Structure formats: C-alpha cells, structure tokens
Structure 1
Amino acid sequence: MIKFKVIYILALSGFLVSSCSNTKYLPQGEKLYIGAKVKVEDDSLHRKERKALEENLQSLVRPKPNTSILGLRPKLFIYNLAGEPKKEKGFRHWLRTKLGEPPVLASKVDVQYNIDLLQNRVENLGFFRAVTEGDTVSKGRRVTAKYLSRPGPQYKIRKVVFPQDSSQIAKVIRENTSKSLLTVGDPYSLDIIKAERERLDARLKENGFYYFSPDYIIAKVDSTVSIHQVDILLEVKTQTPKKAKEVYFINDIYIYPSYSANRMSLSRGRNNVKEYKGFKVVERTTTIKPQVFERTMFFEPGDKYNRTDHNLSLNRLVSLGTFKFVKNQFQETDSISNKLDVYYYLTPNKKKSIRLELLGKTNSANYRGTELSVNWLNRNLLKGAEQLTISAFGGFEVQVAGKDKGYNVYRYGVDGKLVFPRFIAPFKLNSSSAFIPKTQVTLGYESQRRIKLYTLETFKGSFGYLWKENIYKEHELKVTEITYVNSSNVTQEYLERADNIPSLKRVIEKQLIFGPSYSFTFTNTSLVNKTNTFYYKGGLDLSATIVGLFSRKDSATILGVPYSEYVKIEQDLRYYRRLNAKNRWANRLYIGYGLPYGNSRELPYIKQFFSGGTNSIRAFRARSIGPGSFRAPDNANSFVPDYSGDIKLELNSEIRSKLFSIVEGALFVDAGNIWLKNNNKDMPGAKFSKEFLSEIAVGVGAGIRLDLSFLILRGDLAMPVRLPYLPKGERWVIDRIDFGSKVWRRDNLVFNLAIGYPF
C-alpha cells in the first residue's frame, strides 16, 4: 500500500512538473497566453448585475486560452509530449491532433480588437457613456490580458412609437403592440430591438405578407429626449419594395411525390397531373395515395399565405418518414397578381431497408452479454405512407463471477409494428399540430430461458393511437393491450427454492393481462439555453376493468387462465436547472402506485415495480431493494435478487459538471424503495404503511461520463449510506464507511457501466 502511494505521488509530481514546463516548447521570442480577465467598475450597478455583465463581456474575448484544469493544461502537455509527427497518420499524429492542443500564443492577442468588441457590446446594452480599456501583463513566459469597463449610467426606454400611417402593414403592426418585446422602463438593448423586428416580421408573415423581411423595419433611437432615457420609433423603410407591402394568396398547389434532381424528368412529369381536392399531384405512376396529402397539407387554393401553415405542412411531410428530402417553393403567377403557386418536391426514401444491430449489455448484477437484432422496414406498405417494422432478436447474458454464475439467460423473439399516419377510428380527430396523428398495431413474441431454472414465453399485442399537440406534449392511448405469459421447463431446483420462498412462484405463474392504457408526456428539455426545464410523464394502466364489473369471483379465468385485475398509475417528474455554462443540476421524482383487486392480491410480476440498478438507486444491485424492510435470509436465494412491489417511490439528485473536452463529472444521491399493497406472510415488513419514510434506502456516489456526441458512455461508482432492512435506529451506516477495508469495498461499492444519463 505504501509503495503504491509513493508511485502515485511520484507520477502526479512528474505530471505537474511536465505541465508547468509547457513554456519551454514555445517558439523563440513567443509567450504563452493563459487567458483574460474582464472587470466592470460601476457603483450604480448591483453586484449581481455587475457579475452578469462581466460574464457577458468575458464570453466575447478572443482568443480562448488552452484548456486548463486546476491551473494545469493537459491537452497542451499531450501536444508537446507527442512532438512533431513525421507523417500525417499513426499514433503520434493522432495523439497530437486529436487529444492534444497547440499553444495559444500571446502574439495572437489583439488587445485593441477586444477593447472595441467590449465597447460595442456595452453600448448595445444601453451604456452609451461607457469607457473600456485593456492591456497585457507578463509573468515569465506567460501573458494575461486584463480589460476594464466603466459602463456609466444605463439608458432606459421612455417611449415606443409604432408606425402610424394608414397602410395595411402599419395596421397589422399596431394590432400586436401588446406583445411587443420593447417595454417602457426596460433597459435599451440592441438585441431586443432585433428580436422585436423578427417578431413583427413573423406577425406580418401570418397575415399574408410573403415577401416582407425584418430588414424593412428601421428603429430610430433618440437619446436626447431626457436624462438617461431613449425614445424608439419603429418605421417601415421608404425603400421597401412594393410587393413586400402586399398580401398574397395561394393559387395552385403542385406536389411531386417522386421528385429527383433530374430536371428533365420533372418537366416531363408536368404532363401527368392528377387533381385531387384542389391539389395537383404530378407523377407517372401512383406511388402514394393522394389522400395522404389531404391529411398533411394545411394550404388550400384561395387561402391567404401564412407562415404557420407553411411550416406545418413541411413538418408533417417530413414526419411521415416516407420521404428522404422535402423541399417547397413559392412562385408568383404570371397572369394573376398577388397569387402564389406552391410547389412541393418530395424525394422518396428507399421503400424497404434492413438494419443489423449488435449490442453489448451490462448491468449492476454483474451480468454481461450481447444482443443481435435484425430490423426490416417498409416505409410505404399500402401506398398510404404506412410503416411496417419487423424485428427479430436474440441474445444472452452471463455472470462471469458471483453467486449467480452458471444461471445464464438466453432470449430470442420477434416483434411486428404497423403504423398508419392517420386515426383509424369511428371518430375524427382534427389536429393543427405539425405531427400527424398515428394509429399503431403491434404484435410480438419472446422466449426467455434461464439456465437451470425455467423458460418464460410471452405473447403480446396492442392497438392504439399516438398524437402530439406540439413539440412539447405527446399522448399515447392503447385502446387494448394484451399480454400472455406462460412458463415451461421449470427445474426441480427452482421448485424447491420456491417452496421456501413462495414469492418465486409468482414468476412462473401463467399471466393474462388485457385492458387499455394511456400516457402523457411533456418536455421542454430541448431548450438548452433555458435556465429551468422539465420532463413529465404520467401513465394509467387498467387490466380487466370492464370484465371485472361482471365477474367478481376470485377464480375468474379466460380459457382456463386467471386474468389480472388492477389499476396502475405512474408519475415521472424531472427538473433540470442550468447553474452556469458548465454545471447543471438534474432531479427526478418517481411515484408508482398499483392497486390490485378482484382475483389479484398483487400486480402481475411483469407489471410490478423494481428498484436498484444503473438507472435507479445506483448504490444497490438491480432489483435488490425491498419491498419495504424485508430482506431474504442470507443464502436463501442463489439466483439473482428479484424483489418487486406494487408501490414505488424514488428520488434522485445529481450535479453534472463539464470537466474538459468530452469528459463530464457527476456527484449524486439516490433514495427510494418499493412496497406491497397487501400483506404477504412470507415477506414481513413488505407492506406499505405510515412508516414508509423510515424504510427509504439511500445511496451516494460519483461518476464520469464521456460525451461521444452520438452517445453518452457513463460510469458511476456508488455506495449505500442507508439500509432499510436493518433494525430501526441502525439503518444509517455512514459511520461504518471504511475505504481501507477490502471486505467493506467488496460489499458496498457498486460500479455501474451504462449508456446515456440515468434520467
């Protein structure tokens, strides 16, 4: 142990010394630029306002210095370590160009350029009397740039005047002044003025002014009207073209479903026009039914042009998935004024495709495995943009070490999914969303074989609908979902173990589940620059609800198979806060509640909740927590811990910090448990009660994530700090942490390797 520490200290010292000597590799007469510091001096600004302005200005300074961590520059060190490669390939070239980073030289710093840049920014923020200066400071062969800004008083908006003439454009602008971004009393900002011009342009586009542009609006600012105040006068430029001031209407709509870049084929195609409800479909042979365009197009001949219908039509055509490229073009008609012909050029995707996927799998129960899947896709099955996907898969999982070694898992199956880009229902849904409502039919089979234990065969099918209100809200309604599970090849070893642990019998029981389900999802996490973002998914799952009204027998069956009766509710709420450019705070609250009734004492096994694992409470192995304070006796189960419950509560909180390049670090705490709704004499302490908070498991840990752009590779190391199965008063185990003990590390440290964030 002592020897290891000495080696570690020597290695670290060598790295520090090498990093500090980066300047010796600089060209003769050059110095290393190590960054800039921007300071704002103004007593009239609050500290928070001053800091915000400093951060704003700091982001503008160029160039950016070499990446540093705690004063060290590892990427520059790697660049120097690799040296000059002799050829443009090989390990040295890769090390220098991919992992390394060339030195940022002080000679590349243009102080006056940065001064002008900072001065321009503060003036654009309303500090018209600002004074900005800067210089460089040398220390040895290192140079730092320092900039000082004295912004002075910030000018505020006193009055905003919109166009007052009698033109149609001025009328539309005045009708929307209540939504103006320019507010009396707010600080002057050039960025806000630009945003207001964009807003007015968007509003005019909604009212038929197809050729209008934000550049046709000028903002005149008068800073002499009062002390530290401005008046803003918005006008339409006198040199604005005539057609930009006119309202345009839709004339003919041409659709080319088989368009290619070959213009000759396009011109010949004009002789093959088929009219359908106002649309002119141009193609030699019918590749897609014209009814599809009736459901996707928001424009009709005679409509006033507006940008919303323009974008919605394009988005719907893209969301069909049938077309590889979607382009459109508006052209003025030669014979009729203020009319636009619309052309949609649709380049089809390959109708059929096949994809082969090979996945590596790992979980916190020390199982490793792989899965091979083959996916066949038809993007236009019945010439109505229907998509049929058939997937066949097979794989295995083995535990290379541990008590479950030898109990390998093999699985294979096939899934089919047919999606119609419309609602197939006795009712009609009119949606203004850019996303087409869809009807989905699924059918699947899976066989899972656990060596030395049993085989489970699962048959499932569903019929339902998917639709999105907008980019944030999505609904999924399964009118019916049927699942049938049957077991076979159950070994004597498993049956003997099930005699001692009756809950194991539930795994191999026949299960028949049928009924509707509904889920709603809201998320605005795509707004990356927003400080607070949310994700919410709520679900309701019902089984045999209608049948249960007519049969209350405990032995109710269909074709000799007892069917499950339950109500299951799930609520998943996530909150993300952007602390600054490099740090985020992620939180999750998950609540699941199952109410078994009728002939069910518990939820069916495949519908129950589980806790622990890579995306749950990471300090515990998958499915190893609870239910409640129950814990099976040591060595009572030689299989994978597989504890489940009817109720679940879980809370997670994680700080995510970008360290450098593609590397991100995290600190997290997870808490939660599962419980049964009813008493189970074989599992004392498993029932949900008013003491549920005292039965919460807690784990903490740290992680490293690699953002490879196409995926996030995550490694988390966690340990439990609260064990719900210990006697009351002894469940917190923080005082028992002993990193120096090999036995403690083996029993408490859990490493999770996964892809993607846990939530």
Structure 2
Amino acid sequence: MKKISAKISLFILIGIIISACNAEKRVPDGKQLLIKNQILVNGKKINNEDVHNQLYQKPNSSILGYRLRLNLYNLANLNPDSTYQAKFTKHPGKYERQAKWLSAKQVDRLGQSFLYHGIHDFLKKTGEPPVIIDSVKTQKSLSRLKYYYFNNGFFNVEADYEHDSVSLKRGKIKYNITTHNAYFLDSIKATISSPALDSLYNISKENSLIKSGKQYKTIDFSDEKNRIASYFRNHGAYFFQPTSIVFDIDTIEKKHKANVNVNISDYSYQDKDSTKTETFKLYKISSVDIYTDYAPNTSKQNITDSISYQNFNIYSREKLKYRPQAITDAIFISKGSVFADYKTVLTSRYLSNLKIFNPPSIQYEIDKKDTLNNSLIAKIYLTPRKKYSFQASFDLTHSNIQDIGISFTPSLTIRNIFNGAETLEISTRANIGSSKDLANPNNQFFNVSEYGVDFKLNFPRIFLPFSTEKIIPKSMIPSTLIGIGYATQKNIGLDKENFTGTFSYNWNPKRNNTARFDLLNIQFVRNLNSENYFNVYGSSYNALNAIGKTYITNPDYFNDNNDLIIESGTSGFIKDALARNTAPTISEKDYDAVKSIEERRVRLTENDFILATNFTFSKTTKTDLADNTFYLFKTKIESAGSVLSLISNATNQKTNQNGHHEFFNLEYSEYIKTEFDYIKHWDLNHEKVLAVRTFFGIAIPFGNSDYIPFSRSYFSGGSNDNRAWQPYSLGPGSSGATNDFNEANMKIALSSEYRFKILGDLKGAIFADAGNIWNVFDNVTDEKSTFKNFSSLKDIALGSGFGLRYDLNFFVVRFDFGFKTYNPAEETGKKWFREYNFGHSVLNFGINYPF
C-alpha cells in the first residue's frame, strides 16, 4: 500500500512539474489567461487591498509565484466518464472480457473508482480553473473602481483600461484612474419635523461623524445614520428607523465643496388602506410584564399564578417556580423609565446568561390606557429550559503529557435548583492515554489514566451578605461559582489524588472584558506512589547511581549489577551520603549533587496544600471568529498561604523540623505569582495573518516555602510553546534539561507566526519561538539554572520551523516541525544552527492554533 501511495504521489508531483510549463493548457484558442492586474491612480501604482477587491477578475492564486491550484486543475480529466467509455469503444470486446471475471456491474463501478474518477474530482475541487480575460467583467471592474472613488469623495473621477498581450495566450489588464480633486464637506444643517427629535439631535450632534472640513465618504453618512438612529432609539424614540434620515448633498456652484442638510421627516405608518403621518414621540415604560413559563406554540397561556414585585408584574401558567428577585435582577427595563434599545439588549443578554431559559422574546405594545399615547408596555416572554439535562462527550486528546488520550465526560445539569435561577452541574470524567515519555515497565500502550468528579454551583449574582451594586452593577452580568472536585490520576508515575475547591466571582466590566476573582482557590495534591520516584525520574537516578558506585557503603543498597536498588538502596545511600557516612568521605561536589537530587525528590513527592486567592483580567478586541485583526491581553496575580501564615503567627503556632508552619499536619505553600499574556494578530489580506505572542510569568516563594509546588511551576517546550523542544525538555536556563521533567518558577516566552493559505482548507505557517524558564528567589543554587540579572537573557532559546494546518471548521488539525536554532545549553561557538536538521527536529501535533 505504501508503494502504491508513493507512486501516486510521484505521479502527481511529476505531473505538476510538467504542467507548470503549460499553464495555458485549458485556455481556449483566441482567449488569454489573466496573469496580472495593474491599477494606476493618477499615474501611481496602487497595491491597496480595498482597491484591488473591486475587481471582478483576479489572476489565479499562487505560492511564491507558482500557480499550484491552476496546475492541479490542469492535471484533471474534466470528462473522466467519457474517457473511461472511450477505452472500450477503441477496443471492442474488452468490456465483455472484463465483465466475465469482474461482472458488468463491477466494471461499471470501476469507472467511478478513485483511479478513474475520484482523483480527477479531487484535482478539480482542489484546483482552480484558469482565469480567462473577459471584457464584460473587465468593464464591470472599471465601473466598480469608479464607484469606489466616487464614494470616497472624487465626484469627477475618470477611468479606462488597457488590455496588454504578454504572449499568445497570456495577457494583463491595466486600469488607469484619474481622480481629480476630492470634495470636502462645507456647511452642515438639519431639518427635523419632530421637536422632540430636534432637541435630541442638537444634544448629540457634537458626536457627529460628518463634520465640516472632512473629505466626503459615503461610509461616513451610513455610519451617521446608524449613530443618529441608535441615539434616538436609546432615548425614547421607539418607532424611529434609519430610513427616516435623508441626506441632501448640494454641490451646485461649489468648487470641490458640498453642503449637507440632514432631513428627518415625520413618522409614516400604514393604517388599514391608508398611509398616515405624525410627529415622532418619545415613549416611557408604563408597565413591565414577565411571563415566566411562556409556551410559544399555543395562544392559550392560562395564567394561574401572578405576583407584583418592585413594579414588575410576574405571571405563570403554573405555580411560580422562581423567587421574584431572581428574575427581576436580570431585567434592565423598568417602569417609568424612557424606552431604550440598549436596555432591551442587556435584558436579553442577562436572561440568556442565566442558562435556565431559552433566548427570551421581548416585545413592546402601546399602552391604550394612556390618553397621550406615549407609553409602552414591555412584555418579556420566558420559555424555561428543562430542569434536568444530561450531556456526554467523547474526545480524542493530545497534551504535553499524553501522545494520545481517550476521554469520556458525562455531566448532569440541574437548573433553578434553589428557585433562584441557580444551576448545579455534576460532571465526571474518565481518561486513558498513552505516553512514550513515561516509565512503563509493563510496556502497556495505555499507561496514563485519570478519573474524577466535579460539582459546580453557579449563582447569577455576587453571593455576599451585602450589596455590591455600586461596585459591580448588574449590567456587568456578575455571577458566583462554588466548585469542588476530586481526581485520581496515573500519569507521571507517582500517581496522584487531587482535591480542589473554588469560590469565585465573575463579571464583565465591558463588552469584551472579563474579570474573575477567586476568593478561595484550594488544592490538595497527595502522591500515592512516592517510592516510584527514581523509576520515573531516570536522569536523577542515573546521576545518583553514578555517585553511589564511587563510594563504599552498605552492600545491601546494590543489586547484582552493582546498581542502586529502588527504593531501599537509593534512600539508604542518600541518607548515608548526607550524613557523610561513606568511605571515603563523600566529596563536597558529590555531596552538593546528592543534596540537590534529594531536595528535588522531596519537592516532587511531598504532598502539596495550596490555599490561594487570585484575580484574573482579560481584554480582547476580537469581534467574531472571522476577525483576524485583534489583540488579547490577559493578566493574573495570585497569592497563596499568606492568610494561613497570619493565623499561625497570630496564634503562635509552632513550626516543624523544617522551620515551617503546618495546617492539619500539612506544610502549606506560600508564594506570590503573577502572569502577563499578550497576543496580537494582523490581517495581511489574501488569507495571510501575522500572529505574535508574548508571555511573562514569575512565582516567588516566601515565608512558609522555599520553592514553588510542581503544579504551580512553569515548563517550556511543546506544541503550544517553543516547538523546537519537547515538553519539559528546555531549561532551566543553560542547564541543558538534565532532569526528566524540567520546571522552574520564572518564564519568558515570545512567539511569532506567519500564516498563509496553500490550497483549499490546507494552510501553512512559518514560525519562530523564543524563551526559557529559570529559577529565581528559591532554593535552587545551580548557576546555570538561575536568573541572576539581564545577562541571563542570553540563555533565551530560539526555535524556528514551519507547519501545516487543516481547517475542519469546528477545529484545526495542526502539524509543526520545530528546529533548534539557538540552543543556550550548547558550548560557546556551537549554540547556533548546530541541530538545524530534520534528524534533530521536533514534530508537534496540536489541535487549533497555538495562540
């Protein structure tokens, strides 16, 4: 099969190379392939993307000047069915002979096989037909160019084009645009029939997008229409629409200037068979009616229960299942207030965020009880979601620990559990995976596993005994999350139990901003298999074993191969070495090495208890999934153990043998940690994107801790980090990753990536990743691993490479090849490009983009 695939690939490659010299293969006689568009504006060449997007015809796409998709299309047989049938027409009797040993049905199906038909369908779909110069489309392009410049204030624009022949079947089009002088806005006036709207306009005209002295642009007038309409509708003008605004632009007897008159006529509406007009009114809300269990498929609602609460009328077809405040807290429309569109949007958003209702329907009706006819009744229709819902997901995963993982996650959601719009989610997870990097004495494929359960209770408000409305108003959609979880895992060989607890507040200060404050973030990690440490961390064992062989100690520490026995031999030798009970007496160098090995073993095998408080803030300018010009900023600050230390000091608690305090016989961690993450994307047009990421994080132990717990430390390398190194295999500093899972408490990461389209949904990327991890302000003394001053920045590693990505719409499959470009662990003179080859490259598999 591999040989056949190789032959097909070779055939396609040879065909592409041959057809590269014949790009005009499918260009009809008398026609020409469009190879270039050139736009000259006032004699100057223009490469502006917006201008070139006005053209109906563009040359076939290319990669570095090579028209790959055109040549793929030229390889295809456009009529494979006719070709297949012609084979039998030219050789009478061939069909009957094949039908004897295949059957007629199978012979017919053979014509639809991949080799005869499918490969050509693939080439046609993936390829791109030749772009033939069409004079009609060229004329349309010219008209669009004129219209484009007209919309930008060049009212006297002139345009023509030239068709130049490059060869018999190749040509290019040159568009010549003469703009002449642009028109600028002069006087701006307004004629508004409604006195109420006239007053609103005068208040808001300072924010107008059309101002005297600005160059005329049609888009400004469109945006100004929307601005005026939005302002009016947010200040009571319920019936107002942008179509009521007409701009009169006068250029008569004006030299490159235009007078603007903003005309807003009366409200026009249909009443039976006649059209009526009246001045626009500003409306107030006279009543807010809320239907909590609206049935959209029936006109008979049969209201049986109702209540009035703080000027809200709440109705239910059955007995009311919600505390009134839980519903009214989500309503921004209030009795006596002026009608405002933004309040409708906020209300809809907040109600949807409760997750107990389907998206609401909010309607307004004229209050017929008001004799002045300027009041509205707001009717809010809520359709409850099911109280209980069950979900389950089955995923294939890839991470820095797992090469492949299979996970199953069932969950149960209970809505409105305490009649206050709360939701309780109970989820369990089961994961089994495979990792070639882990200790695996039984040679099992699935050598990684994790099982867990989580409870998450969400309150749609800040859960405190006092009001926070002045600090965090309900327009920020606040919520409180209380969560507890338990997981047991077998991954890095030590086998862990992980208990977590969270009490956090979430809100959105602005539309694209999020904030989270974890009042309590508790984690307790218990190692179940600490004696397996030296089986997992083989580099530490090898270093200790080499030292152990040079000294005479208890022979029971060693096996028949004179290697230290795990666990009895390793622990015994460490104890003797640190007591200097060896023959000869252990050297200072070896003593320091054994001490360092033991300190790392203790740090990675002891149980961790973390009681932290943290605050996270993020801001993005991304509007939707298609937005490729945006930035994302995220920062986090975390403090752990300080409250427990205050309590211990205030109550004069005794310290343990290490000089540290304990909480329930557990030595707790104390540190402060902060992170800054910034991502920026630039859309370079033609489906090209430049993406940059910067990250800095540092965790500083103090008080009750000399180091950072493994779960809160940093690592470098992997598919979402420096892709030229495997996970945990870079750093710290220039130490050369001497340990198996290298981590530290400070990290710098810089990445840039140029993304481009290759063909269809297949994308490519060229990237460069820089960064490293270091130890700082902790108990690590190795100079190569520590960050001393700015001179340590010379230890920043650089990796570069290229990648392929395939967009499956719901996620992107990614393969990246990373090459070590600058390796700080190498000797001076051997740091640059010493391992820049495929033999030392790292292949990363990932899901979605790295940043």
TM-score normalized by the length of structure 1: 0.88
- Alpha-carbon separation, structure 1, partners of 2:752 and 2:662: 44
Contact in 2 for aligned 1:332/1:341 (Cα 8 Å): yes
Q: How does 1:556-595 map to 2 (within 5 A)?
A: 556-595=661-700
- Residues 403 and 283 of structure 1, relative CA distance in 2, 3 Å threshold: closer
Give SS of 1:347's match.
coil
Please say which of residues 74-83 and 459-468 is displaced more in the overlay: 74-83
Contact in 2 for aligned 1:543/1:566 (Cα 8 Å): yes
Describe the superposition over 1:195-226 as per-residue Cα deviations: whole angstroms up to 9, x where unpaired. Answer: 11111111111211111112212212122454
Equivalent residue, structure 2, for 1:185: 213
Deviation at 1:600, TM superposition (A): 0.7
Q: How does 1:264-303 map to 2 (within 5 A)?
A: 264-266=299-301, 268-269=302-303, 272-285=305-318, 286-303=320-337
- Alpha-carbon separation, structure 2, partners of 1:150 and 1:223: 20
The gaps in structure 2 that reach 5 residues or longer are 82-108, 270-276, 536-565, 575-593, 650-654
Describe the superposition over 1:638-660 as per-residue Cα deviations: whole angstroms up to 9, x where unpaired. Answer: xxx31111111211122222334
Equivalent residue, structure 2, for 1:742: none
Give SS of 2:329's match.
helix
Pick from 791, 804, 810 the counterpart of residue 710 of structure 1.
Answer: 810
Aligned: 1:128 with 2:155: yes
Give SS of 1:514's match.
strand
- Alpha-carbon separation, structure 2, partners of 1:601 and 1:338: 70
Give SS of 2:530's match.
coil
Aligned: 1:81 with 2:76: yes
Please say which of residues 424-433 and 115-124 is displaced more in the overlay: 424-433
Equivalent residue, structure 2, for 1:669: 768
- Alpha-carbon separation, structure 2, partners of 1:126 and 1:600: 68
Give SS of 1:112's match.
helix
- Alpha-carbon separation, structure 1, partners of 2:58 and 2:388: 48
Please say which of residues 318-327 and 535-544 is displaced more in the overlay: 318-327
Q: How does 1:554-633 map to 2 (within 5 A)?
A: 554-631=659-736, 633=738
Equivalent residue, structure 2, for 1:340: 376
Deviation at 1:114, TM superposition (A): 3.0
Aligned: 1:234 with 2:333: no
- Residues 474 and 226 of structure 1, relative CA distance in 2, 3 Å threshold: same
- Alpha-carbon separation, structure 2, partners of 1:100 and 1:10: 16
Describe the superposition over 1:535-561 as per-residue Cα deviations: whole angstroms up to 9, x where unpaired. Answer: 111111111212213436422111211
Contact in 1 for aligned 2:306/2:314 (Cα 8 Å): yes
- Alpha-carbon separation, structure 2, partners of 1:550 and 1:731: 53
Describe the superposition over 1:82-120 as per-residue Cα deviations: whole angstroms up to 9, x where unpaired. Answer: 645779998657737854556666569434333333222
- Alpha-carbon separation, structure 1, partners of 2:296 and 2:799: 58
Equivalent residue, structure 2, for 1:522: 619
Describe the superposition over 1:511-532 as per-residue Cα deviations: whole angstroms up to 9, x where unpaired. Answer: 1111311111111122789886
Equivalent residue, structure 1, for 2:508: 468
- Alpha-carbon separation, structure 1, partners of 2:773 and 2:39: 53
Aligned: 1:440 with 2:481: yes
Amino acid at match of 1:750: V
Equivalent residue, structure 1, for 2:800: 700
Contact in 2 for aligned 1:40/1:151 (Cα 8 Å): no
Contact in 2 for aligned 1:368/1:400 (Cα 8 Å): no
Larger radius of gyration: 2
Deviation at 1:714, TM superposition (A): 1.6
Equivalent residue, structure 2, for 1:356: 392
- Residues 440 and 7 of structure 1, relative CA distance in 2, 3 Å threshold: closer
Pick from 728, 736, 757 the counterpart of residue 658 of structure 1.
Answer: 757
Please say which of residues 154-163 and 233-242 is displaced more in the overlay: 233-242
Deviation at 1:445, TM superposition (A): 0.8
- Residues 365 and 531 of structure 1, relative CA distance in 2, 3 Å threshold: closer
Deviation at 1:25, TM superposition (A): 5.1
Tell me how large the CA RMSD over aligned residues is.
Answer: 3.4
Deviation at 1:159, TM superposition (A): 2.8
Contact in 2 for aligned 1:322/1:348 (Cα 8 Å): yes
- Alpha-carbon separation, structure 2, partners of 1:360 and 1:82: 38
The count of corresponding residues between Structure 1 and Structure 2 is 732
Deviation at 1:623, TM superposition (A): 1.3
Give SS of 2:734's match.
coil
Deviation at 1:404, TM superposition (A): 6.8
Give SS of 2:49's match.
helix
Aligned: 1:537 with 2:595: no
Please say which of residues 108-117 and 642-651 is displaced more in the overlay: 108-117
- Residues 331 and 6 of structure 1, relative CA distance in 2, 3 Å threshold: closer
- Residues 152 and 225 of structure 1, relative CA distance in 2, 3 Å threshold: same
Amino acid at match of 1:42: N
- Residues 116 and 628 of structure 1, relative CA distance in 2, 3 Å threshold: closer
Deviation at 1:79, TM superposition (A): 8.4
Give SS of 1:264's match.
coil
Q: How does 1:86-101 map to 2 (within 5 A)?
A: 92=117, 95=122, 99=126
Pick from 200, 225, 243 the counterpart of residue 172 of structure 1.
Answer: 200
Aligned: 1:509 with 2:545: no
Deviation at 1:707, TM superposition (A): 2.4
The gaps in structure 1 that reach 5 residues or longer are 740-744
Equivalent residue, structure 1, for 2:524: 484
- Alpha-carbon separation, structure 2, partners of 1:658 and 1:446: 42
Aligned: 1:415 with 2:451: no
Deviation at 1:435, TM superposition (A): 4.8
Deviation at 1:136, TM superposition (A): 5.0
- Residues 135 and 375 of structure 1, relative CA distance in 2, 3 Å threshold: farther
Amino acid at match of 2:149: V
Contact in 2 for aligned 1:322/1:349 (Cα 8 Å): yes
- Residues 331 and 135 of structure 1, relative CA distance in 2, 3 Å threshold: farther
Q: How does 1:44-123 map to 2 (within 5 A)?
A: 51=46, 54-62=48-56, 67-69=61-63, 70-74=65-69, 77-78=72-73, 81=76, 83-84=78-79, 92=117, 95=122, 99=126, 109-123=136-150
Equivalent residue, structure 1, for 2:87: none
Amino acid at match of 1:15: I
Pick from 153, 175, 182 the counterpart of residue 147 of structure 1.
Answer: 175
Give SS of 1:644's match.
coil
Contact in 2 for aligned 1:602/1:676 (Cα 8 Å): no
Pick from 275, 278, 296 the counterpart of residue 261 of structure 1.
Answer: 296
Please say which of residues 514-523 and 73-82 is displaced more in the overlay: 73-82
- Alpha-carbon separation, structure 2, partners of 1:173 and 1:38: 45
Equivalent residue, structure 2, for 1:369: 405
Equivalent residue, structure 1, for 2:748: 649
Please say which of residues 161-170 and 566-575 is displaced more in the overlay: 161-170
Contact in 2 for aligned 1:218/1:235 (Cα 8 Å): yes
Describe the superposition over 1:676-710 as per-residue Cα deviations: whole angstroms up to 9, x where unpaired. Answer: 22464674522221132122111111112222221
- Alpha-carbon separation, structure 1, partners of 2:179 and 2:474: 46
Describe the superposition over 1:361-404 as per-residue Cα deviations: whole angstroms up to 9, x where unpaired. Answer: 33467733322222222233233322222221122332358987
- Alpha-carbon separation, structure 2, partners of 1:117 and 1:750: 49
TM-score normalized by the length of structure 2: 0.79
Determine what percentage of the aligned residue pairs are the same residue.
Answer: 26
Describe the superposition over 1:127-164 as per-residue Cα deviations: whole angstroms up to 9, x where unpaired. Answer: 11111224655654566554332111111222322348
Q: How does 1:28-43 map to 2 (within 5 A)?
A: 31=31, 34=34, 37-42=37-42
Amino acid at match of 1:352: Y
Describe the superposition over 1:150-179 as per-residue Cα deviations: whole angstroms up to 9, x where unpaired. Answer: 111111222322348882212211112221
Aligned: 1:733 with 2:733: no
Equivalent residue, structure 2, for 1:546: 643
Pick from 768, 788, 796 the counterpart of residue 689 of structure 1.
Answer: 788
- Residues 723 and 114 of structure 1, relative CA distance in 2, 3 Å threshold: closer
Describe the superposition over 1:552-588 as per-residue Cα deviations: whole angstroms up to 9, x where unpaired. Answer: 6422111211111111111112222333343322222
